[in-house]
Structures are given as structure tokens and as C-alpha cells.
């Protein structure tokens, strides 16, 4: 289950969620629950709860870089995971950090909008993600709106998801996990696509409002799997199983989009 280092070290570059449901908090909980070791470079501090984001405080670029370098120079990493980056300058910085880290696989979650609707990535940064981060992705994990923004294609059906996934592979991603949670229908279909193969995952849609942080959680679960040496297919399959059960066991906190139960494997 664990890779050559035996620890599954994941360096996470993402924003902090004061409500604990998404962002760095969800990432740390996920990596820990699945037996890995989480280290972080926080890109922004948000003021948020289940009802939405009310303020965002960006972290200075030199502090973001300092956090990442401190981790990589001492603790090291078996995978890198990105989340909320905010603006073009942060995207560019994170791309340079990934490039300098050598052959460590990067899971890129192109976080653009919070569950409550707040924008978490400005327009200039979308182009930077497309041009700088996607070619560095061992795995890209967009939902339908994010895939549409990155490709300019409508993403409303499974066939649309497949077309967008192919376009994202052409932009340089080594693999794309097209998430179908935003595509209407009684089942949720996710497509894991590489230039050579496609794996289709299907699960019944859960009728729940407790889905805050599902994207962060899934991407981090994939990243820790890669860090543990599970390989792409097994990492994604385990990640989906973990997230589905975390949604099922959601504690019911908050009046809005509630958090998941990240700790269920521990219990």
C-alpha cells in the first residue's frame, strides 16, 4: 500500500478554509486518514463556513515559496497537490515550484469557484493554469464548470466530458479525471482519461447538501495514493470510494453546504 519511502509524503499548495470542510483542512484530513503525511504551503486565508466565503486574504508570494522550499529541502515529497491559487502570479510561482521539484507527480485541482459560488481564481489566472500548470499535471481533476472554463467547450453531458477531457490531454496533462458531479442525472459518472485509455466510474447520486470540499478531498486522496505508490488507477478508485463514504457519513454540521466525514477510516 505504501511507496518506496514508506510514508506517502504530500506537499499541498492551497488555501485555508476556516470552516474546516475544504481547502488545506480537507487536504490534511484526507492525506492523514489514508495513511500519508501532509505538509503544506498555504496560498490564502479565507473567512468561510458552510454558507460561503466572506473574505480572502492572499499570502505574499515569498511566503508561499518559502513554505514550499522549506518542506521540499528538508522533509521532501512523494507527490504535490495544488488547490486554490487565486491569481496569475501564484499560478506562475506554483508552476516554478513544481518544475524545480523534479519528477515528483503533481495532482492539479483547478479550483475556480467555492461551493457557495464565490470566485477563487481570477480570469487571468485561468489562462495561466491552462498554459503553465496543465502541462505539469500527472493528474488534472476538473469538475464540469472548470473543464468548460479551461477548454471553452460546453460540458453538460458525458460525451461533453469526454471531449473536454481529450482537449485537456492535448494541452499536456498526462491524465485527467473528469468529474461528473455537476452533470445532471440520477448517476454520477467520472472519467479517468489518459492518451492511451479511459476508465469509467459510475455511482448513484446521493441526495445530500453535505458536499463541501468534495473536490479538494478527491484530489488529495488521489495525490496520497500516488505518493504511496498505488499507481493511477488504484489511487483514483480508492479516492472515489473514500469520498463517497465520507459524504454518506457527513456529520450534518452547518446550515449550508456541510462538510464530509474525513475521519471515517480512522474509526
Residues serving a catalytic function are: 179, 211, 213-216
Query: Which triple of cell numbers denotes residue 244?
Result: 463517497
Cell of 87: 491569481
Angle at 15 between CA 57 and CA 213, to 5 degrees: 125
72 burial via Cβ count (<10 Å: 0-12, 13-18, 19+): buried
Amino acid at each position: 500500500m505504501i511507496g518506496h519511502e514508506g510514508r506517502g509524503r504530500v506537499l499541498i499548495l492551497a488555501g485555508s478554509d476556516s470552516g474546516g470542510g475544504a481547502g488545506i483542512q480537507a487536504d490534511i484530513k484526507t492525506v492523514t486518514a489514508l495513511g500519508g503525511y501532509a505538509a503544506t504551503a498555504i496560498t490564502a486565508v479565507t473567512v468561510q463556513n458552510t454558507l460561503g466565503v466572506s473574505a480572502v486574504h492572499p499570502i505574499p508570494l515569498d511566503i508561499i515559496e518559502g513554505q514550499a522550499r522549506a518542506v521540499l529541502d528538508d522533509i521532501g515529497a512523494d507527490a504535490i497537490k495544488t488547490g486554490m491559487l487565486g491569481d496569475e502570479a501564484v499560478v506562475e510561482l506554483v508552476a516554478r515550484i513544481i518544475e524545480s521539484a523534479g519528477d515528483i507527480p503533481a495532482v492539479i485541482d483547478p479550483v475556480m469557484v467555492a461551493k457557495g459560488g464565490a470566485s477563487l481564481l481570477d480570469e487571468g489566472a485561468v489562462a495561466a493554469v491552462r498554459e503553465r500548470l496543465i502541462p505539469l499535471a500527472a493528474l488534472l481533476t476538473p469538475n464540469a464548470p472548470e473543464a468548460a472554463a479551461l477548454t471553452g467547450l460546453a460540458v453538460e453531458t458525458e460525451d461533453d466530458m469526454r471531449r473536454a477531457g481529450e482537449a485537456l490531454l492535448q494541452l499536456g496533462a498526462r491524465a485527467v479525471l473528469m468529474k461528473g458531479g455537476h452533470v445532471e442525472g440520477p448517476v454520477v459518472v467520472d472519467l479517468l482519461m489518459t492518451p492511451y485509455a479511459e476508465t469509467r466510474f459510475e455511482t448513484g447520486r446521493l441526495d445530500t447538501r453535505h458536499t463541501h470540499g468534495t473536490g479538494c478531498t478527491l484530489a488529495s486522496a488521489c495525490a496520497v495514493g500516488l505518493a504511496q505508490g498505488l499507481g493511477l488507477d488504484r489511487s483514483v478508485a480508492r479516492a472515489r470510494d473514500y469520498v463517497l463514504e465520507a459524504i454518506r457519513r457527513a456529520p450534518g454540521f452547518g446550515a449550508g453546504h456541510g462538510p464530509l466525514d474525513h475521519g471515517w477510516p480512522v474509526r
